[in-house]
Amino acid sequence: MELDLSPRLPKKVYGGDGGSYFAWCPEELPMLRDGNIGAAKLALEKYGLALPRYSDSSKVAYVLQGSGTAGIVLPEKEEKVIEIKKGDSIAIPFGVVTWWFNNEDTELVILFLGETHKGHKAGQFTEFYLTGSNGIFTGFSTEFVGRAWDLDETTVKKLVGSQTGNGIVKVDGSLKMPSPRKGDREGFVLNCLEAPLDVDIKDGGRVVVLNTKNLPLVGEVGFGADLVRIDGHSMCSPGFSCDSALQVTYIVGGSGRVQVVGADGKRVLETHVKAGALFIVPRFFVVSKIADSDGLSWFSIVTTPDPIFTHLAGKTSVWKALSPEVLQAAFKVAPEVEKAFRSKRTSDAIFFPPPN
């Protein structure tokens, strides 16, 4: 069967007045199932609350738009109440309880990318809700809930049956929700738009990499992530992950062209991408991108905590390491052609500005 790497948009799973939850479907994007990758998006309207839940999969959350509040409870730890805003990334190990709230007029949109190899369904996150019409309380009998929390039957029925919404609800604007606490962001959140740049190429592009140094919880989720922004008409060097990692890419903004080359020199993807699309690059396949005039930015996870990439252009390219004689023989070209090829792209840049 031919490999289909075409970028996809998510589908709405559920929602209401408080907002909506979207997910990418393994049936439409088989690489999700094959690579044990989950991808979803949460969009909250003003006063929208994503009810407390935990997941069977580790994730990285990235705030695409808006601002709000997040609650995070690590096992046997106190709740962290965190202010979140556009550009924030948060590592969320599986089993950690979270809730999300928007008290602003602008819609709060959060992307979730993660691994599902320990989950119930390959390529799909499974959420366990603490409250709501599909919350865990609804599955236990009145007797079990009453005995577990030492409550009378009347109180149990009110506790279990009052919230008829599921997943996302809209709360009364008069209800005072917890305020973010100073210091709770430390160690939990990295803003990729404000963090020091790991790569900065003038008129080319910029990269911020999430790792255990700037976001310690990355070590617990078990995979890395980065935010890449390239300028108008700039190019991201062709490259591949040389440690068998998958690259899961969500287009955050702008637009551009993408080419992916697989085994036997076959171009397996040539497409135009724009904000909102997601695609996956298989292990060892080579990918390159060229931005349109409005630039191109993407947020990616790579399914290993410390990914290693090999770039095929620039000073650190593998071509520069190979002997001239090997290149002449491999390409079957004259020495002057090999010399011209080697003499180009002498900087260590991985982003190339447009030709003059």
Task: Answer whether residue 57 shows pLDDT above 60.
Answer: yes
For 104-152, where are the alpha helices, taking DSSP H only? 142-149
Q: What is the pLDDT of residue 75?
A: 87
- 275 in the same domain as 200: yes
Residue 305's contacts (CB-CB under 8 Å, 6 or more residues apart) are 211, 212, 218, 219, 222, 223, 224
- 198 in the same domain as 107: no
- Which of 65-74, 129-138, 185-194, 199-208 shows the lowest mean pLDDT across its residues? 199-208
- Residue 139 gets which letter from DSSP? G
Mean pLDDT to the nearest integer, 107-135: 95
pLDDT digits over 292-342, tens only? 999 999 999 877 666 666 766 666 677 777 888 898 998 899 988 988 887
DSSP string computed for 304-325: SSS--EEESSSTT-HHHHS-HH
Strands 97-102 and 80-85: unpaired
- 123 in the same domain as 19: yes
Amino acid at 49: L
- 238 in the same domain as 126: no
Last residue of a domain, one of 308, 328, 343: 308
Domain extent, residue 286, equals 193-308
Asked if residue 278 lies in contact with residue 247, where contact means CB atoms within 8 angstroms, the answer is: no
Asked if residue 240 lies in contact with residue 218, where contact means CB atoms within 8 angstroms, the answer is: no
In the chain, % of residues over pLDDT 70: 94
pTM: 0.91
- Residue 79 gets which letter from DSSP? P
- At 286, list the tokens: 């080579």
- 207 in the same domain as 294: yes
- How far apart CA 284 and CA 350 sit, in angstroms, is 18
